[in-house]
Structures are given as structure tokens and as C-alpha cells.
Structure 1
């Protein structure tokens, strides 16, 4: 018999049946299933970033996301909530334009340059809170947009109701609190915020009272619109109409004349006889113009005479020319 304790000895196994594993061996070979996502592994960096983002969202009450330069984000039922302006050039330009801001987020250990220094200076002068924020959180806030360590948080614009605003304006005019007859501009299918900003600026320049935008498929007051308005968005209210055609119908019931702008209008702008009356000018997009239902709700379709039939005016330019003519007629009493 071999001595199994001797170095190099081989132990002989007893022949015959032996006790099994009860199937545990087969179960061990079955594997542990698919590999969990990085954000679900407690030891992974992605999991820690996810926890950081969730804690921040709970702290600030942020239920949505935004990204890019000036892109808005949506809250419950599609309502606009906040907007993020990202990138050093965009942020400093927004601050120069006086756009209302909720906070300026600056990356931890950001590399300073003239744009960052000016942004910090402007924010401090306006009393905008400065938030030192880690890069993962900035990435989350902007949906991985190129923010360069600088993010300006814009609060949502507070829209008035179009019909309520019109009723208030009419009441003030009738009581003598407003000298000129109410003058509104409504947008039909315009989606470019720069057009909205330019229109707000024209309405302010020619003593208009408000801009009306539809609830759906329309531009809203974004950072880009604020910037293009050159500060006029502070003075001219922008109101929303859940249904533009119903709002125009309500305007007409109040005694407000609804005038649509179109190149094929039956009245030329210089021959407009309603300039001194309460007016709502409706302008459509440059490509599609006024929609059929909006056109049907207009009291008159007004055209702006131009030299060439091949040319067309964009929405903001058409509104500016129309408001100038109306203002001129009101001042002269013609």
C-alpha cells in the first residue's frame, strides 16, 4: 500500500459509484445572466454619476432636461419650464442682452478666459446666483451639449392669456388710461424665435400693446427671442392663445378688427381705413402664409405693395412696415 503522505505519492481512488452534487454543478454552468448596465453597478462611475444627478434633480425640483444653446425643456402636459444657454460665447452674449436668468452654473476648476470673467462680472452685477457645479452635473443638465463649463439657467416665461389681456387692454382704453386704440400682433405658424424677437421690438417701437402666439406649433419666448428683441420683451407682453381662431373670434366680439397680412390682399396697406380702430394684425410664416381658417376669420386681408412680384418679405419685416404705417396714420389722424 502506497503511503499517501509521502511527497510525490498518488492517492488511489476507490472504484464504484460516488456521491453526486445534486445538480449544483449544472446550475453553476448556467451562468449569471446578462451583464448589468454600467449605471446599475454600484461600484461603477456611471452609477455614482446617476446618483449625483438624481440627488440634484430632487434638490432643485428639476423634472426635465434641456440641452444645446437656448433649447427649452418641457414640463407636465408639454408646458415649457426652463431653458439652458450653454457655451461661453452664448452665455456672455445672453448676459449682455439682459436676459432674465435664474442661475449661472460654472464648472469646478474652470479654465478662466475673458468670456468667463465677463460672465461672472455681469452675473454678480445683476445679482444672479453663481453655482459651482461638477462637470457630470453640467453634462446632465444640458444633455451632453458642449457647455465649456458655463451654463446659464433661464426661468420659464410667464405668458398671459390672450383673451384676458385683450379684454383688460380694451377696458383701459375705454376708461382713458391708454391714449391709442389697442394694437396687437398675432403670429400664425411662425417658429423662428428671431422673428418673434424682431416682432416684439417693432411692437414696442410703434406703441403696440401685445404679441399673441398660439399654444401649439408656434415659437415661444426663448433666450434667442429675448436677445433679438434687444430688451423690448421686458416692455411688451407676449400672450398665449390655446386656439388662435377662437381667440380671434373673441377679439372681433370685443370690437377689435382682425387684419391678415398677405401678398394677395384685397386692401393695400396705404389705403387702410381702420388704422385708428382697435386692431389685431395677423402674420403667417414666409413660406406658408396665413392658414385657411385664420384667413377666414380676418375682417380684411391687407397687402404691402412691393416693386417686384418675385420678392417677398419675412414676417418681422412685414409687421414692422405695417406698424409704421398704422402709427403714421394714427399720429396724423388720417
Structure 2
């Protein structure tokens, strides 16, 4: 059953109103606030047929989501959130793709803010979906959704039971599996995947790619960095890789 909870922030609510207004039950704004941003949000809600109510500051201060205080910017929405997809949805996405697929695979990312930032970067780079394991990894928590700035409601997030098996299935469907590791023998900028379906696989914070995941990759690459810098945050590294592949495709198209 899809989860029902409060989300906060202008970007997240506007994205939900734009893409999935049927999931919103109510939009709440701080009583007495009448600036341009609030008026625009109220207009969007009215156009979508979603009720708008006003509440005092202390009502917003009591809002929680996932057991934590909600970061709301003075606006919040009660909605049925988009659930994570599964292997079947991934298959449907690949079958229906009209462009060469670009996927982001996260091998055990546990920080919700990193997941949210990865979703945001992946959507901006034109990725078809983000894939992650169900166990020992972060799901679509309120913090992840907030950090994604609406991407969690637009970009499919697929949680799979067995990541190694999913990578093997992707290979059978013609997707080239590219893992990122500091020890990767090939530089990102020496790769040429302009015409290839690609899944970029990123490791967990700190530990990187698991050995079993590395074994499923067709190629291991590294991001060239200035001396003294050992690694990048997973969301930054994923964006660097995805946008390089996007650049190649635009240059080759």
C-alpha cells in the first residue's frame, strides 16, 4: 500500500502538483503569508483541484514526517507518495524507452540526503531510472524526497531484491555495466558510450562497490582528480559520470 505523509518545501510540492496532482489531498500554507511564491503555489493547487488551508506557525512546528520535524518553508502537503518500483517496472521502462537508456545504480547508499541528491542529479542528466537494493540501503524516506527537490516524484526509483542478479539481467538486455572505483583502470574521459545503453554503478559511502558488484561490471572506471583528493561524495561522483555520458551522446547526436 502506498504511504501517505506530509511533504514540505515549494519544489517538492510544485513537482507533485505538476506530475501527480491526484496524489495530493491538501496543501497547507502559513496563515497570513501572501507573497508571490505562496500565491503561485495556491494557484497551482486550485488549478489541480487540491484544497488549500491556512494554519498558524505553531501547527507547522508540530509537523513531522518519518518521525522527524518536517522542513517545510511555511508550506506543506498531505499526499500519497509514489512508491518505489520493482524489477517488473524496470523491465517495462526498458521496453518502452524511446532513447538509449542511461541508468544509475546505487550499491548500498544509506544516507537519505545522498540518495535525494543522486535522484536530483540523475533526473537532470536524463537518466531513465535509479536502481538500488531493498536491503542495507536507503529507500524513499522523507529526507531523501526533500533533498531530491521533486525528482523522487518524477524519476522512477527501483528497489530490487538481488542487485547482482539485476545487473546480470541488464547485461542480457544489452546494457553495458560500468562500475566506478578508485582503482578502475580506465579514466571516465577515455570511455566512449555515446551509442550504448549504460548503467553507471556507484558504491556506498566510504566502502565503495562491493566485490560481488564489481564482478558483475563490464568495465571499471575512475574519475581523474587533482592530487590530494581521494574521493568525491557519491551524489557528486554520480552526477559527474552521468553528465559525461550525456555530453558524449549530445556530441555524437
TM range (shorter): 0.7 to 0.9
- 2:174 matches 1:255: yes
Larger Rg: 1
- 2:3 matches 1:81: yes
- Tell me if the contact between 1:166 and 1:251 (Cα under 8 Å) persists in the aligned partners: no
Q: Give secondary structure in 1 for the equivalent of 2:3.
A: strand
Match of 1:157? 82
Change (3 A) 1:126 1:260: same
Match of 1:102? 24
> Structure 2: which 5+ residue stretches go unaligned?
none
- In the aligned structure 1, how far is the partner of 2:48 from the partner of 2:140? 21
Match of 2:252? 333
* Residues 247-299 of structure 1: per-residue CA shift (max 9 Å, x gap): 11111122211111111112110111344211111111231111221112111
Q: TM-score, normalised by structure 2?
A: 0.74
- Tell me if the contact between 2:192 and 2:248 (Cα under 8 Å) persists in the aligned partners: no
- 2:157 matches 1:242: no
* Matched ranges for 1:1-334 at <5 A: 81-85=3-7, 90=8, 94-95=12-13, 98=16, 102-104=24-26, 112-114=31-33, 118=38, 121=42, 123-124=45-46, 126-129=48-51, 152-162=77-87, 164-166=89-91, 168-169=93-94, 171-172=95-96, 178-179=98-99, 181-333=100-252
- In the aligned structure 2, how far is the partner of 1:142 from the partner of 1:252? 38
Q: CA deviation at 1:313?
A: 0.8
Change (3 A) 1:231 1:243: same
> Structure 1: which 5+ residue stretches go unaligned?
1-74
Q: CA deviation at 1:84?
A: 3.2
Change (3 A) 1:126 1:304: same
- More strand per residue: 2
Q: CA deviation at 1:184?
A: 0.7
- In the aligned structure 1, how far is the partner of 2:81 from the partner of 2:242? 28
Q: Which has the higher contact order (CA 8 A, sep 6+)?
A: 2
- Tell me if the contact between 1:103 and 1:131 (Cα under 8 Å) persists in the aligned partners: no
- In the aligned structure 2, how far is the partner of 1:186 from the partner of 1:283? 6
- In the aligned structure 2, how far is the partner of 1:308 from the partner of 1:293? 29
- In the aligned structure 1, how far is the partner of 2:184 from the partner of 2:27? 50
- Tell me if the contact between 1:226 and 1:233 (Cα under 8 Å) persists in the aligned partners: yes
